[in-house]
Structures are given as C-alpha cells and as structure tokens.
Chains A and B, each alone.
Chain A
C-alpha cells in the first residue's frame, strides 16, 4: 500500500521533453489512470516510478519518502507489461513463482503466497497450463499474479489490454477493476482508450505533450473538463465545440465574457423541428443512435437512446439541454459556467 507523489518532475531525452514539470498525487489504494495520446509522457511516468529512468528535475515520493536515489529493485513496485511478458515455456504456476524463486525464498512461503494470490485472481484451476493454452483474459490474470506475488506496494500497468479484441477488452477491464478493489493496492494504469480509462479509474490524469492538463475523477473530467482538449479526449462521439455565433440557433445561451466557443456533449444536443440544420448521416448502434448533422459548414453530432427514425437529408432544428453547456475562451480554456 502506497501513495505516489510527483513534485515538479521533468524528464528529458536529448532535446525532447518527455515529462514536463509534472506534479500529482496518487492516493493509497487508488486506481489511477494516466490517459493521453501516444507519446504524451504516460509511459515515461511509469518508468520514473519504477526507477528505470531518473528524473532530470523534481522528486518522486513513494509513501512520502523520496525515491530518486533508491535502486529500482528496492522500490517494491511491480509492473505488468503491455505484452504481459509471460515466459512461454513455463507453466502458469512457474511463471507466478518466478519472482520468488529468483529471490531464494523458502518453498513453504512460496506455496503459501502462490495459494493466496491465485485464490484472489481465480487462477487456481489454470496454474498447470502454459501461456499458449490460456485465453487472453487468463493470461492477463497470470501476469498480474506474477506481479502481485512479491507483495509490491503498488503495481503499474502499461496499456495491458490493448492487444485484446473489443469484446474481451470490455470483460477484462471490469475484471481488473474487481481485482484492484479486492486487493486494495495502488494501481497506476496507462491507456489511450478513453472508454477504458473512464471505466476503470477512480482518478485519472489527462496528458498532453508531457504535461498534465487535468486531474480528477472520470466524472469530473467528463462533466467539467478544464479545456477543449480534455473535453475532446473524453467521450465518444466527441463533444461538439461550436463558435459562439451558433448559440442563438441552439436556444438562448449566454456565456460569460470572453467566451469564444461553447461545448455541448452529443447526448445533450436535441433534434427539434426546424430548418437550421440538416441531417447528414444516421448511425444506428442498436441501443443508441448517432446522428451527424451539418449546420452551414459546421459539423455536429447528436446521440440519443433507442432507435429513432431519422433520414439523411432531413431539415431539422437543434436545441441544447439546459445547464449542460460549457464555455471556452480563445485559448480553449474553460470559463466558469454562467447561464
């Protein structure tokens, strides 16, 4: 169990600044998600926590103790790699035991630990199989078991399920969440999939170009993003960010002074009778429907539940659910909401 704190950490690789003056705190037992596009610094953060890289500036604290000069092996932080890195020629059991055998721990103790961990992860029945005989989800659990068996204070995962297919990803992310809740350990999780991030995380940090844009609960970040960037990164389809001159058309919205754009989530954009806009395309997803709309040369999307009947080419009007609008200044930062 551990909290992890970054204080003004900067890491450069040659001329590129991979992590740029980043500060945040991961509380004990949190499922903390680092989210952002590729190369935005997330994976470097993991390496810094592990001790595989040293910060150029700033300090990293684990449980309040600076660790910059602590040997990676002594930080007691475990990592589950993207490709899981299971040893293909060993059984699941040998894989799980590996970190303990390497440390020359007594056999009884190893047995007890493996028993404990495999019970928590429900892998007792598959321990005799080799990785090739396991399903994607099972392999995942074995890899986590191997990380856990040495009883780390925190464990880190770098995009561990991106290689699975869509259906398996949905199942595995729930599984990961359950496991983290049962184990009650700090988990730092890297992903570039917004749905996955929002699904699993207690807290998340949104990255861009080595900097953290915003930290908060998934709900906070979704409801109150502090910039058009964060707003755009979360939610699919993405938030409609529209010029202020469209505000009238969508029904009397008064933004605070300095508003240049306003943002409306697709689920808060309603289709009404009118002729301000036109439906360009309808995507029925079964449980919900996405409608692509053009108003002049602006493209918008609206999503609604169920299977409403719309047809491309229809003239429509638009309205916004009240109280669900964000306003942004010229630089894309969120202004305090005023209705």
Chain B
C-alpha cells in the first residue's frame, strides 16, 4: 500500500498547554475593552429611571428651592404610592386609557389586516393608494390634533356633512359631550395609527413564503383555510410585535388628545399621560408624578416582556 496514512508523531505537546484557555483570555480582553462603552450605555439607560425611583420616594417639588439631589431631605417613603393607590383620578385615567386602548388597538389591527389583505396582491393604482394610506402616519400628531379639533367643531365639516346627508341641520356638540369627546379622540387615534398597523402587517404578510401558500391551494385549500392555517400562523410573531407597539404607544398617547379636548370636558378624555402632564404642570408635585410614571413603566415592561418572550418562541 502506498497510502500516506496520517499519523506523524506529535511534537508540540507543551505548546498546546499554553494555547489552552487562549479563547477565554480573548473573551476577557474583549470584555475589558468594551467595558467603558457598556457602562456608558447602562448609565444612559438607567440613570433617569433611578432618579425617578429616588424622587418618587420624596415630597420634592421644584418650588421647594432645593436641588433634586438633596431631595432626601423631603423623604416620605412610600407615601406617594399609597396616595396613588387611593387616587380616584389616577384610576379613572388608567381606566380611560385602557378603554381607549381596548377600542383602538383591535380596530386598528382589523382595519390594518384588512387593508394588508387587499394590498398583498397587485392591482391597478396600488402604489398610489399605498402612499395615500400611509399619509396619516406621517402627519405630526399635534397637527392631526388640530385637524380633528376643527373637524369636530359644532359648525365644523363633520356636522356639515351629516347635515347634508340627513337633509336637516345637525348640531352635535362633539367635544363638549363627555361620551362623544372620547369617541372623537378614539377616531383620531385610529385615523392616525391604522396605517402603521397596515404597514407592519403587510410586511409580515409578504414574508409568508409564496410556495407554501401555493402548496396549500394545490392541496385544495380555499382562501379562508389558507389564511387561517398558513398565513396567520406564520405572521404570529409580527402580529405580536405590531400589537405590542400599539399597546405601548396607546398608553403614552398625549399630544393629539391634549389638543383636541385638553382632557375635557371635565376629565372625560383624561388619559394617564394627560393626567401626568396636568399634575406636573399645574400641581408641581414631582415626587408624586415620578411615582405615577414608575407605576406605568412597570405595566408597560410587563407588556413588552410578554411580547419579547413570544417573539423568542416564534
């Protein structure tokens, strides 16, 4: 046999011992080199939160004339949180925010999904329509707020159109009736944010492999079966992301609501963000505000945590 089978005697046993752990050393060096940057990032992310935690345990207000870092002089422990638990205005704001969210997000989702289904296939004018649909998303929320503020005036276009359609003069006081005011701000939110939902869902729908859908059709599946067994299950992750984004954003909704109704009439459209704003600007009890903000942060962290764990699974 002329084979050169491969076993030349070993030479460098001592060398190998030195090499051992080279990988670990490298990792340690890498960690050391990036440590300053990591600390900076950590600081940027954590500092405001820690500051809030600190302030929320005090009775500090900018009017007291002591700098924030000496707020410990006004230490009141968990009093702010206890107050918060018993604050009916806080709970009603939370409740109202939830109602807005529970109406807005499903409606936005269903509208967005429906539009995405329409836009998955090519049709004449698809591009132009697509750009048009995305316009509301690009409008500055404050501007959108003014738009709806005008639309909903008792002499405004909405009443005008209704009058025209019904043939008699309609004088609905949209923004002064507590229930209608809430409906008004909900409509403005849906108008503005359905396009985002549509955009995300369309991207998700387009990423469902064509051949899998074809395979389903060739196996005799109709549209509904294909949609519910192939398309939707494969979009699960992206649906979770889209809904999580809107839930979080809805919790924070402020500018257009504030401009349309200012939280009124009374507190009829006062969401949690508007409440915080009012407490901050009018009452100036910042320790209390910090406590509210932290409470919301915790709720939102739970929501996004659930979304992220869902994404990991998918």
Query: A residues engaging B (CB < 8 A)?
Result: 7-8, 22-25, 54-59, 66, 68, 205, 212, 214-216, 220, 224, 226, 336
Is B23 an interface residue, CB under 8 A from the partner? yes
Is B168 an interface residue, CB under 8 A from the partner? no
B33: A residues at CB distance < 8 A: none
Q: Among the listed A56, A216, A226, which residue makes an inter-chain contact with B19, where contact means beta carbons less than 8 Å apart?
A: A56
Is B309 an interface residue, CB under 8 A from the partner? no
| A224 & B10 in contact (Cβ 8 Å cutoff) | no
20 examples of A-B residue contacts, CB within 8 angstroms: A8-B10, A8-B12, A23-B6, A25-B8, A54-B22, A54-B23, A55-B19, A56-B19, A57-B16, A57-B19, A57-B20, A58-B10, A66-B15, A68-B19, A214-B3, A214-B5, A215-B3, A215-B4, A220-B3, A226-B1
Is B2 an interface residue, CB under 8 A from the partner? yes
B2: A residues at CB distance < 8 A: 216, 220, 224
Complex Cα distance A7/B7, Å? 9
A216: B residues at CB distance < 8 A: 2-4
Is B28 an interface residue, CB under 8 A from the partner? no
Q: Among the listed B12, B19, B20, which residue makes an inter-chain contact with A7, where contact means beta carbons less than 8 Å apart?
A: B12
Known: A56-B19, A59-B12, A226-B1. 16 other contacts (CB 8 A): A7-B8, A7-B11, A8-B10, A8-B12, A22-B6, A24-B4, A24-B6, A54-B19, A56-B20, A58-B12, A59-B11, A212-B6, A215-B5, A220-B3, A224-B2, A226-B3
Given known pairs A7-B8, A58-B10, the reply for A224 and B20 (CB within 8 Å) is: no
Q: How large is the interface on B (under 10, 10 to 19, 20 to 34, 35 or more residues)?
A: 10 to 19
A205: B residues at CB distance < 8 A: 6
Given known pairs A54-B23, A59-B11, the reply for A224 and B3 (CB within 8 Å) is: yes
B4: A residues at CB distance < 8 A: 24, 215-216
Which residues of chain B (1-45) have a CB below 8 Å from chain A?
A: 1-8, 10-12, 15-16, 19-20, 22-23
| B15 & A59 in contact (Cβ 8 Å cutoff) | yes
Min CB–CB distance B5 → chain A (angstroms):
6
B12: A residues at CB distance < 8 A: 7-8, 58-59, 66
B6: A residues at CB distance < 8 A: 22-24, 205, 212, 214-215
Ranked 5 nearest A-B pairs via Cβ: A57-B16, A8-B10, A59-B12, A212-B6, A23-B8
Complex Cα distance A77/B214, Å? 47
Min CB–CB distance B97 → chain A (angstroms):
48
Complex Cα distance A243/B100, Å? 78
What does the 1/0 interface line of B174-209 toward A look like (CB < 8 Å)? 000000000000000000000000000000000000
Complex Cα distance A215/B8, Å? 12
B5: A residues at CB distance < 8 A: 214-215, 226
Min CB–CB distance A17 → chain B (angstroms):
14
Complex Cα distance A224/B2, Å? 9
B1: A residues at CB distance < 8 A: 224, 226, 336
